[in-house]
Copies of this chain bind each other. A is one copy, B any other.
Amino acid sequence: MFKPVLIEPSIYCQLDIVQFKSSCAACSLRELCLPVGLNEDEVKKLDIVSQKRKITRGGYLHHAGTKFQSLYAVRSGFLKTCVLEQDGRHQVTGFHMTGELLGLDAISTDAHTCDAIALEDSEVCEIPFAKLEEISRDIPSLMRHFHKIMSREIVRDHGVMLLLGSMKAEERLASFLLNLSRRFHLRGYSEYNFNLRMTREEIGSYLGLKLETVSRAFSKFQDEEIITVDNKHIQIKDIARLRMKLSNSDVS
């Protein structure tokens, strides 16, 4: 009926949701559940609840403030989330690709706390949260899996806080590129060649830098022959030195 893509176990802990090539419309719960060892019957009883949704480039998956009903699992495409303050301040809080789960922030207040915007045509699965909670009551491994996903988001955020709080511009960009590289690689794409889906300004917002600073850092890396930059296309030529950009500054 459907064929799981072979993914080595170590990757389970990296991807929010392990991807399975599946022809069924109710895709995301299947993905959520299979890695935790559910059998076909158990998966079947979940099929009803999830639903696909397409968002074209530039479109909103959800706005901050709208009522929270569902989590969203990215099936394909690329999205950003950003928080905004009343004073016009705003910040990209994350870039999200296939297999990642959006909307976790909204559980706390039953309303989304950020905008989610597609940076390319994307497809998500909508997972009604109440249903997910209900089902996970019967399936402890699913519940644990969900808790791990939430916890992982907290850990990720702490990593970003470290980046924003203690790294210089070049270190931030190196960290960003290495993170993207790893995530593309995990999904079966090249870790050395990829296209950025976001603008310099969006990268800057995520990294707490102005777009000019981002641009200069890209140029610097290119001058040093660590990467090649051709507008949105990035080639990592010397990943070891890119990693060194992160580690070799002695921070107290």
Residues of A within 8 A of B (CB): 13, 83, 85-91, 93, 104-109, 113-114, 133-134, 137, 140, 143-144, 147-155, 157-162, 164-167, 205-208, 246-252
Tell whether, in the assembled complex, residue B137 and residue A143 are in contact, meaning their CB atoms are under 8 Å apart.
Answer: yes
Copies in the complex: 2
- Min CB distance, A85 to chain B, in Å? 7
Interface of A is mostly: helix
Tell whether, in the assembled complex, residue B154 and residue A108 are in contact, meaning their CB atoms are under 8 Å apart.
Answer: yes
List the B side residues contacting A83 at CB < 8 Å.
158-159, 161-162
Please measure, in the bound complex, the distance between the C-alpha atom of A97 and the C-alpha atom of B131, giving whole angstroms: 34
List the B side residues contacting A90 at CB < 8 Å.
162, 166
Tell whether, in the assembled complex, residue A166 and residue B91 are in contact, meaning their CB atoms are under 8 Å apart.
Answer: yes
Other A-B contacts than A91-B165, A157-B160, 16 sampled, CB-CB below 8 A, are A13-B109, A83-B161, A87-B251, A89-B166, A89-B167, A91-B158, A91-B161, A107-B151, A108-B154, A108-B155, A113-B158, A134-B140, A150-B151, A150-B154, A153-B154, A165-B207
Please measure, in the bound complex, the distance between the C-alpha atom of A35 and the C-alpha atom of B181, giving whole angstroms: 44
- Min CB distance, A252 to chain B, in Å? 7
List the B side residues contacting A154 at CB < 8 Å.
104-105, 108, 150, 153-154, 157
Please measure, in the bound complex, the distance between the C-alpha atom of A144 and the C-alpha atom of B133, giving whole angstroms: 8
- Min CB distance, A22 to chain B, in Å? 26
List the B side residues contacting A162 at CB < 8 Å.
83, 85, 89-91, 93
